[in-house]
Chain A
Amino acid sequence: MHIKQAKNIAWRIIEGNAYIVNTQASCLHSLDETGTAVWRGIAGRNIEFEKLLDKIHGEFEVDKETLRADLVEFVGELKDKGLVEVLDGK
């Protein structure tokens, strides 16, 4: 599974939090510190899920399987908000 920033997305990290706009919907989202770390891993890339997991695991002292479950859920939320595209099998 690959994850990439969706097409109509604009964003900035301001004071440690990511602020993300879906420009088609003119909708503003913000991420907390952990979410922002994940966003840094995704934004501007087409990243394989396991690589993203390794990257985030390197930044936070959390059990990897717990992190995997949390990351799957979080990526799902980003997808539902139209902020990322999830590409299967690429």
Chain B
Amino acid sequence: MGNEIFEKLSRIVTAKNIPLYSVFELTHRCNLICRHCYLDSAGAKNELPEAKIKYILGELARAGCLHLGLTGGEVFLRKDFLRICSYARKLNFDVRVFTNGTLIKRSDAQFLSEIGIGGVELSLYGKKDTHDRITRVSGSFDMTFAAIKLLKEYRVNVRIKAPIMKLNYGDYHWLLDFSKRLGLECIFDPVLAPKNNGDRSVLKYQLGKSGLRKVFSDRKLIPARPARKNSAAKPPDINLFCGAGRDCAGIAPDGTVYPCIQFLYPLGNLKKKSFDEIWYNSKRADYVRGLKSSDCKECFSCSKAAQCRRCPGLALLESKDILGKSEIACQLAEAQA
């Protein structure tokens, strides 16, 4: 029954371009300096004030957004963060918080529990030494672990998120055991993104071919997933786009609306226009929604297209072309073949 409801809702929101899923980056500031981070320091300026954020949350609620991710940078660096969370809950969003957890105090965990937050997703990269080496902040593992314990104590849903990269490849079984011991879900992602400004230097940490093959053959780590719709795909059924710009929206700290926070094709800015104007009356949004898989000439004719998990945002960052090839997706498709 749950699946039927989900499928019906998915059909409606896709057909009507309702941003059921939205991610709001509240800040790009961070207290950690993770080696693989995709944010660039230039984005740490021009944050929206609390009142404007609350106004936008009202617009998102009216547009039909149900699942709201609040992310950073590090969201707890904003002094108004808990008030923003509380306001979002009053608007009946399913609020998920993405954080490194290092600034979470007991009173914060209690507050998040009391307002009925949907969950907190924390970045944890491996054992203490590995984690602190990646964040470049000594003691950060202990602080994140303390937050996990506090959130669990107050019965907040906690999920651990970890990229798998050269820097922590040796620790992923430890992370699996660690999560299991604590009764937590752990989500691994073998994809690293270039920085938002196009700087590709972080990709030196991306796993190579053999590492990716090992990751994809380990079902404890990444459960087998069907390719996007119609896995036995003939070319017309290949799907090289996702819900970004259709049922998913991303908002940057400066108010820029994107199809997704990873898909940096600006649709408009909320300092100048309403969310509805940007989402429903912008030529750029129409353009994104009008894109078809067959428009991606090179990828559409690729023999691995049916397995491809191409992210249009990463393709844009990598090739400067929404219709272009994503090398990372190619590597993943090859590793899974």
Contacts and interface: CB of A to CB of B under 8 A. Distances in A.
Interface of A: 7-12, 14-15, 19, 21, 23-24, 26-30, 43-44
B267 to A, nearest CB: 21
Interface string B95-135: 10000000000000000000011110000000000000000
Interface string B1-37: 0100110110011001010100000000000000000
Contacts of B16: 15
B219 to A, nearest CB: 22
B131 to A, nearest CB: 27
B116 A11 contact: no
Contact of B66 (A8, A11, A26): A11
A8 B150 CA distance: 19
Interface of B: 2, 5-6, 8-9, 12-13, 16, 18, 20, 61, 64-67, 92-95, 116-119, 157
A19 B94 contact: no
A20 B119 CA distance: 16
Contacts of A15: 12, 16
B66 A12 contact: yes
Contact of B92 (A10, A14, A26, A29): A10
Nearest to B115: A7
Given A10-B66, A19-B66, A27 B2 contact: yes
B9 A30 contact: yes
Given A14-B13, A21-B94, A28-B9, 20 more contacts: A7-B116, A9-B92, A10-B67, A10-B92, A10-B94, A11-B66, A12-B20, A12-B64, A14-B9, A14-B12, A15-B16, A21-B67, A23-B94, A23-B117, A23-B118, A23-B157, A26-B157, A28-B5, A29-B5, A43-B92
A25 to B, nearest CB: 10
A28 B20 CA distance: 13
A28 B8 CA distance: 11
B118 A10 contact: yes
B1 to A, nearest CB: 9
B86 to A, nearest CB: 13
A14 B13 CA distance: 8
A53 to B, nearest CB: 24
Contacts of A24: 157
Contact of A19 (B9, B116, B157): B9
B21 to A, nearest CB: 12
A21 to B, nearest CB: 5
A11 B13 CA distance: 14
A10 B93 contact: yes
B5 A30 contact: yes
A10 B118 CA distance: 9
